Amino acid sequence: MLDSAGKVAERGAELVARVLRVRPNAVLGLATGKTPIKLYRQLIGKYRAGELSFGRVSTFNLDEYLGIEPDDPRSYRAYMEREFFGHVDIDRANTHIPACPPGENPKQVGPRYEERIRHAGGIDLQILGIGQNGHIGFNEPSSSLNSRTRVKTLAGKTVEDNSELLSPGEFQPRLAITMGIATIMQARRVLLLATGAKKAAAVAQMVEGPVTAMCPASILQMHEYVTVLVDEAAAAALKNRAYYDLTFRENEALDERFGAYYADS
Ligand code: F6R
């Protein structure tokens, strides 16, 4: 638990930097939405300061809307360009988003995306946000905990949250292609960021609730290596905060002394 959203982004960027120091050609799983914007700014800062290069990095985004073209400013491809790719030395050929080209069968996108991830050697670090309803990617409550990249219907709450970003009368996407829960669970390491009071209930359910498809993020309790970074507001409903803070500090101290542990390095 950290004091502010700014600190969450700083720590998150430091963690990404540590992974890239161990593995400069890491495969990163990326998220969009409001939460990671500050993290991307921190990473851009590190790149500009010469601390980091993304020249050998490959990326796989979690999701993309169906029916929105890549050059539409509302697409996640456009978001990634604006918030991150356009400011660092990443090779666009190594950036992947599960978009469905116009005229193609969206049901074929998922299996192809899974194949690309496999071909890249799997995801080393998956960055996640969390929806107010506990979704990760666009795996809405009731999504199979064993799901793979596929077309998913957005939940009413997600459509409502997204509508804040649209002008009245604008096409509102109701379908997306998202990495599945099993896809996310296969990442070697997961970094989940949550900030703001609106996320407090979802964070508490994810960490302290039962593992259930009704809170897809709760499956992360079964992942081997997850870091959850939250600010005060998002941590507010956690019962066991003192213990998590202690664990976090101890792990940070170990990482500082011995470097970031890496599952298969
Ligand atoms: C984004 C994604 C979503 C968001 C979640 C939180 O690629 O997959 O799961 O991480 O909806 O969104 P924000 O950060 O806007 O609150």
User: Is 33 close to ligand 1, i.e. is its CB under 6 Å away?
Assistant: yes
**203-235: b (≥16 Cβ within 10 Å) or e:** bbbbbebeeebebbbbbbeebeebbbbbbbbbb
Residue 151 sits in which domain range?
A: 5-258
Residue nearest to atom 4 of ligand 1 (CA): 129
Q: Which pLDDT score, from 0 to 100, does residue 171 have?
A: 81
Ligand 1 pocket check: which of 60, 113, 128, 166 to mutate, most ligand atoms within 8 Å of Cβ? 128
Residue 123 in domain: yes
Q: Are strands 175-178 and 63-65 parallel, antiparallel or unpaired?
A: antiparallel
Q: What is the pLDDT of residue 196?
A: 98
- From 13, 61, 87, 71, select the one nearest 187 (Cα to Cα): 61
Tokens matching residue 30? 């990326």
CATH of the domain at 185: 3.40.50.1360
Total number of domains constituting the chain? 1
Q: Average pLDDT of 223-242?
A: 96
Nearest to 53 by CA among 28, 80, 20: 20
Distance 168 CA to ligand 1 centre (A): 22
pLDDT score at 54:
98
At residue 25, what is the residue type?
N
| Least reliable range by pLDDT among 117-121, 126-130, 166-170 | 166-170
| 169/157: higher pLDDT | 157
Gap between the Cα atoms of 78 and 101, Å rounded: 15
Whether residue 34 lies inside any domain: the answer is yes
Q: Is 265 among the domain residues?
A: no
Kindly state whether residue 263 falls inside one of the protein's structural domains.
no
pLDDT in tens, 123-138: 999 999 999 999 999 9
CB atoms under 10 Å from CB of 255, counted, come to 14
In a domain, 264, yes or no: no
- What's the pLDDT at 262? 54
Confidence grade of residue 257 (pLDDT, cut at 50, 70, 90): confident
Mean pLDDT of 146-166: 87
Catalogue the active-site residues.
63, 133, 135, 140
pLDDT number for residue 244: 93
What is the Cα–Cα distance from 239 to 144, expressed in whole angstroms?
28
Q: Which of 26-40, 119-133, 159-173, 186-200 has the lowest mean pLDDT?
A: 159-173
pLDDT of 70 reads 83
At residue 261, the pLDDT reads 59
The answer to pTM > 0.85 is: yes
CB distance 150 to 180 below 8 Å = yes
Band (265; pLDDT cuts 50, 70, 90)? very low
Q: How far is the CA of 221 from the centre of ligand 1 (A)?
A: 19
Domain for residue 234, yes or no? yes
Q: Does the beta carbon of 35 sit less than 6 angstroms from any atom of ligand 1?
A: yes
pLDDT digits (tens, 9 = 90+) for 95-116: 999 999 888 999 999 999 999 9
Give yes or no for residue 198 CB within 6 A of ligand 1. no
Ligand 1, atom nearest to 35 Cα: 14
The answer to whether 153 touches 58, Cβ cutoff 8 Å, is no
Residue 260 is predicted with a pLDDT of 64
The answer to whether residues 130 and 216 touch, using CB atoms and an 8 Å cutoff, is no
168 pLDDT more than 90: no
